[in-house]
Amino acid sequence: MHEFLLGEATMHEFGLNLSGDNSYSYDYDPEIEPSITNEFSSAAYRAGHSMIDGFLKIYGRNRMEEMISLSELVQQPSRMRKWEFYDEILTTLTTEPVQKVDSFISESLTRYLFKSGNPFGAADGNPFGVDLPSITIQRGRDHGLRPYNDYRQLIGLARVENFEEFGPELGYKLSQLYNSVDDIDLWVGGLLEPKDPEDGVLGPTFRDIIADQFYRLKRGDRYFFENEPAVNPGHFTLEQLYELKKTTLSRIICDNSDGIMLKRQAPNAFKQPGVYGNEFVECDGPFLPSIDLTFWQD
């Protein structure tokens, strides 16, 4: 997943790749603070709000049976009573592409989120819900995040000098909302940054904030699962590490499905399935190896 978000070059730059299949990590640094940064939790990692499609296409055995608005599912689990629905929704989530990280947010999140049984208001079947982007922007202000321009400068980029740098349309809209480019919120500016198609799906500011957080968790947390016995009191054995590293998200999806509709998965769950190099394979076949739990027996 990190590679999908950040790109291979950033993974290499921040040293985020794992060690070999059957080896410990020896790069723990007690001087690195592993706590979650405010910028990561309140803004950068919420770039995913822009990637959410407002509709889920539910496929049956032979065709698409239904298109469901996301707002019809959030906090409404009654559909799970349908015998095949769990496998259907897993199939949808593993085959439908994500949206780009940009200025567009689905109406399911801007107007209708939690529209029924709204936890932020009256639970009386209100046809409208809450505006998630507004909540995210306000959260950043409540948490005291600095403006977007300050973080650009922090990662070594030039500060934005005028609204026109965002393009004529977005620049005009931003100028109607902010008195100065130095007032633009981090979450807003991060979404609007140009992306490098060869290096993940994020702009450079969000990319570096997220990569820095993953770096801190990997290098500064003594309990990181790869760390050697001399560092990690709860370390895994080398055999256990090998079993953990050989599993994939596709294997986890297969193991947690009901096996009614979902019986195949693409080996890489983070890339487009069913294409050359990522063709579907059977869940019970040899191409998605399972963890051997005997190595955890006392």
Q: Which residues contact 116 (CB under 8 A, 6 or more apart)?
A: 75, 76, 123, 125, 126
d(CA 58, CA 66): 5
According to DSSP, residue 236 is labeled P
Is 49 annotated for ligand binding? yes
d(CA 178, CA 185): 9
Q: Which residues contact 186 (CB under 8 A, 6 or more apart)?
A: 39, 43, 44, 140, 145, 146, 147, 148, 151, 205
Both tokens of residue 140? 């950043």
Amino acid at 287: F
Q: Which of 243, 224, 245 is nearest to 25 (CA)?
A: 224
DSSP E strands in the chain: the ranges are 55-59, 64-69, 264-265, 281-282
Which residues are documented as binding site? 49
Which residues are documented as binding site for heme b? 49
